[in-house]
Amino acid sequence: EGFLRFVDRVSEETSLPPANLMVELTETHLVKEDKIIRRVFLELQSRGIAIAMDDFGTGYSSLGLLKNTPVDLIKIDRVFVKDIQENTFDAAFIRSIVALCHDVGKQVCLEGVETEGEYKVARDSGMEYIQGYYFGRPLPAEDFARKHLSNNG
């Protein structure tokens, strides 16, 4: 209740363009609230805000969910990364989901890449984004700005 007003207020207060915002919801939560979430997501997208399905592969992993949920980005969960060097299923699953998502106009992010070996196997799978501790740990906003946004860094 009031989520759309909240997003509008935050966007206005921060002068952040809607195209620079992305709302994430876990796959499991998307299934539970399908009709309500669908309406809110369509409204957010009409404002230029992107939608991401987080933790894909850990909950229901329904292809129907991929088909019917208005999301722009699918974030494949770490559960498919941690054994990617030894388990051919994980690499095949990632490649298949990337191809399917691309065929229907969705982008893909692989979550939880923590080692160089995981990155080397994953990097050629065709997804738009790869994230994880291999690239850096979470930082307080001030530390991030100092490290990555200053003219000194």
Instruction: Quote the percentage of the chain above a pLDDT of 70.
Output: 91
Whether residue 111 lies in the annotated active site: yes
The first and second tokens of residue 143, run together, are 């530390």
In angstroms, how far is the first alpha carbon of the chain from the final one?
A: 42
pLDDT of residue 140: 93
Which pLDDT belongs to residue 110? Answer: 96
**Per-residue model confidence as pLDDT tens digits over 72-129:** 999 999 999 988 999 889 989 899 999 999 998 999 999 999 999 999 999 888 999 9
pTM: 0.83
How many Å apart are CA 151 and CA 113, to the nearest integer? 28
Of 59, 63, 70, residue with least CA distance to 97 = 63
pLDDT at 152: 56
Selected catalytic residue, list 111, 114, 118, 142: 111
Check whether 62 has a pLDDT greater than 80: no
Assign 59 a pLDDT band (cuts: 50, 70, 90).
low
**Rounded CA separation 39/119 (Å):** 36
Q: Where are the alpha helices (DSSP H) in the chain?
A: 3-14, 27-32, 34-46, 63-68, 88-103, 116-122, 141-144
Of the pLDDT bands very low, low, confident and very high (cuts 50, 70, 90), residue 57 is: confident
Letter for the amino acid at 114? Answer: E
Question: Mean pLDDT, the chain, as a whole number?
Answer: 87
